[in-house]
Structure formats: C-alpha cells, structure tokens
Amino acid sequence: MKTETYIYDSKEFKKMELEKRIETLQAELDKIKAEVSKPVERELLTDYEKIWDNISDYYVNPDVKTIEPLEDKLSAIAVCLEIAHYLNDGWKPDWEDDSQNKWHPSMHWGGELALDFHSGKQHRHRSFVWFKSEALCQHFIDHFSEIWLEAIA
C-alpha cells in the first residue's frame, strides 16, 4: 500500500491559514452587522416629564423645559416637537424622498382624532409634527393628544 506524503510550502500553508481566518472573521462580521441592523427595542414613555429625564444629550434645550407645557399654544407646539423628537429618536422627514412615509396626527370631520400619512413634499404643510412610523404616531395620539389639541386650537 502506497502512502502519499504532502509537503506544504510554508508560504502556501500561511496563505491557507490566513484565508481560513478571513472566512471566520467575515462570518463574525456578518453576525455583528445583522445584530446592528436590528431595530433597537425601547420602552416608549407616556409622560412628558419622563421624556425630559430620558432625552438624549444631543438635543436638550433647557429654556423649553422651564415653560409650562400647556401655558399657551406656542409652548404646546414646542412640547409636541420635543415629544416627536424623542419618539422618533432624532429622525426627521426627508421631503425629497417621495417613497418615505411620514405619519402625522390629524383632526377628521366630526372632531375625530386620527392619523394620516403622506410621502411627498407637497404635504409638508399638513402638520407641524411628523413620525417615522404609524405605531409612533398612534403612541403620540394615545398619550399626548391633549397637548396636540392645545397646539392646534
């Protein structure tokens, strides 16, 4: 019985080891990319003061915090904008992107509070507060409609 002996060139062997390591690292990188691309689950707050306590450092306007939330229409608008900024996690509508849905609360005939969505820039004027998803807009309506109604009154 004849046995074959393989003699690897040390450079060739190192190349094979490096290629195997690259494959392993690429697999790990793919796992990390998949993990990073998952949406971050977070509890959506329902109280304005708690939102102030949890708002990110990248956007804090201390002057607005001192205003009584429902003191007048202007402060109600400011509060709605702050809440939308928090709920959207910094997202802003891209009015040049007609494929991007932008959700907003609206008052339908008969006084019914509902949500609508639009995509094109011709709809910018329909609201002063926009949301990146239907769920966030519904959360806003469910928990902050009184402030919004004060703002549009």
The model's pLDDT over 4-40, given as tens digits with 9 standing for 90+, comes to 555 566 778 888 888 888 888 888 888 877 777 766 6
pLDDT: is 10 or 149 the higher one?
149
CA pair distance 105, 145, nearest whole angstrom? 9
Task: Give the CB-side neighbour count of residue 147, counting CA atoms within 13 A.
Answer: 23
Task: Provide the whole-model pTM.
Answer: 0.55
Longest CA–CA separation in the chain, Å: 97
Confidence of residue 88 (pLDDT cuts 50, 70, 90): very high
Output b/e per residue, 121-149; b: 16+ Cβ within 10 A: eebeeebebbbbeeebbebbbebbeebbe
Give the SS3 label for residue 2: coil
Confidence of residue 67 (pLDDT cuts 50, 70, 90): very low
Average pLDDT, the chain: 75
User: Which of 1-5, 27-31, 47-51 has maximum average pLDDT?
Assistant: 27-31
pLDDT: is 130 or 123 the higher one?
130
Burial of 115 (0-12, 13-18, 19+ CB in 10 A): middle
pLDDT: is 117 or 55 the higher one?
117
Confidence of residue 84 (pLDDT cuts 50, 70, 90): very high
Cα–Cα distances (Å) from 152 to 19, 48, 110, 122, 146, in that order, read: 63, 18, 16, 20, 10
